[in-house]
Amino acid sequence: MILMAASAQQPTKLRISLNLLHPKEAPSKLPEKFLKWLITYGRFIVIFVEVIVVAAFLARFRLDADLDELKRKINLDLPYVESLAVDEALIKQTQDKLALIDKTYLNDAKWQEAVVEISEQIPQSIVFIGLLLEEKDERTVNFRISGTTRSNADLGIFLNNLRSIENFREINLASISFDRQQILFTITGAKSKL
């Protein structure tokens, strides 16, 4: 009990709380606040930016490797693509011919009738290989018919039938050749538009 009495008699000491880091004086100015913020959080921003820069630098190596791989593949496929140049020219030529057919054949009812008339004049043994249409001027369309037949008589009948069509003129046998019991022929002519 004596201890309790002694501690009760001691006077309480005055305790002062002092913070030296943040004085309670005047509020800090804007540049000081910015500097404190920059010191506290700026290092995280710098680290984040450095991580992005390093990642971009490493990604550049990957993208350069991908680009080199694509160039290598293109160079491997280049001879194949160049070999298709003939096919490309043929396709363009066919498209031009189709455009001419579209312009001439579909827009002129008389030409449609002429194609029907040609098809009616063909003997059974004649097989067409090609039909070339070239517009000479606004009133005339030149044509070239290529085909094969086994019979010389059927070729003569076909020529005479074409010459008998009213709007056809300048019907000529442009070429004739023989190959494996087949007669290869080319007939040229012009069709006048009325």
Distance CA 95, CA 103 (A): 12
CATH topology of domain 109-192: Alpha-Beta Plaits (3.30.70)
Residue ranges per structural domain of the chain: 109-192
The pLDDT, as a whole number, for residue 92 is 93
Give the mean pLDDT of 49-57.
94
**Structure-model confidence comparison of residues 40 and 193, the more confident one:** 40
The pLDDT, as a whole number, for residue 1 is 45
Percentage of residues in the chain having pLDDT higher than 90: 20
Give the mean pLDDT of 163-179.
84
First to last CA, the chain: 142
Sheet holding 168-179, edge to edge: 127-135, 140-149, 182-192, 168-179
Quick one: how far is CA 5 from the chain centroid?
Answer: 101
Distance CA 192, CA 170 (A): 10
Dump pLDDT digits (tens) for 113-133. 667 777 777 888 888 888 777
User: Is this prediction's pTM over 0.75?
Assistant: no
